[in-house]
Amino acid sequence: MSGDAPAFAPLKLAPGYRRVAESIAARIRDRSLATGEPLPTEIELAAQLGVTRSTLREALRELESQGLLARRRGTKRMVVSRPDAASVVVQISHALAMHDVTVAEVCDALQLLEPPLAERAARAATGPQLRAIAAAAAAFRASRDTRGALLAVTEFFEAVDAATGNRALQMAQRPLLPLLQGSLRLVIDRVPQARARIALAQRRLATAIAARDSGASRDWMDKHIRDLRRGFEVAGIALGTAVRPPD
What are the tens digits of pLDDT across the range 169-208?
888 888 888 888 888 888 999 999 999 999 999 999 999 9
In the 8-state DSSP scheme, what is residue 241?
A: S
Q: CATH 1.20.120.530 occupies which residues in the chain? A: 86-234
Task: Return the bridge partners of 78, or none.
Answer: 71
What DSSP line would sit under 20-75, residue for residue?
HHHHHHHHHHTTSS-TTPBPPPHHHHHHHHT--HHHHHHHHHHHHHTTSEEEPTTS
Q: Residue 5 pLDDT more than 70? A: no
- CA–CA dist 29, 5 (Å, integer): 41
Q: What is the pLDDT of residue 204?
A: 98
Q: What is the mean pLDDT of residues 85-93?
A: 81
Helix count and strand count (H, E) for the chain: 11, 2
CATH of 86-234, one of 2.60.40.10, 1.20.120.530, 3.40.1010.10, 3.30.365.10: 1.20.120.530
Looking at the chain, which residues constitute the CATH 1.10.10.10 domain(s)? Answer: 16-80
Provide the pairing of β-strand 78-80 with 69-71: antiparallel
Handedness of CA 15, 20, 24, 27 (dihedral sign): positive
Q: What is the pLDDT of residue 142?
A: 96
* Dist. CA 20–CA 62, nearest whole Å: 10
The angle at the Cα of 210, spanning 207 to 214, to the nearest 5 degrees, equals: 90
What confidence tens digit (pLDDT) does each residue in 40-77 have?
999 999 999 999 999 999 999 999 888 899 987 777 78
CATH 1.10.3720.10 fits 16-80, yes or no: no
Kindly report the pTM of this predicted structure: 0.76
* SS3 assignment, position 210: helix
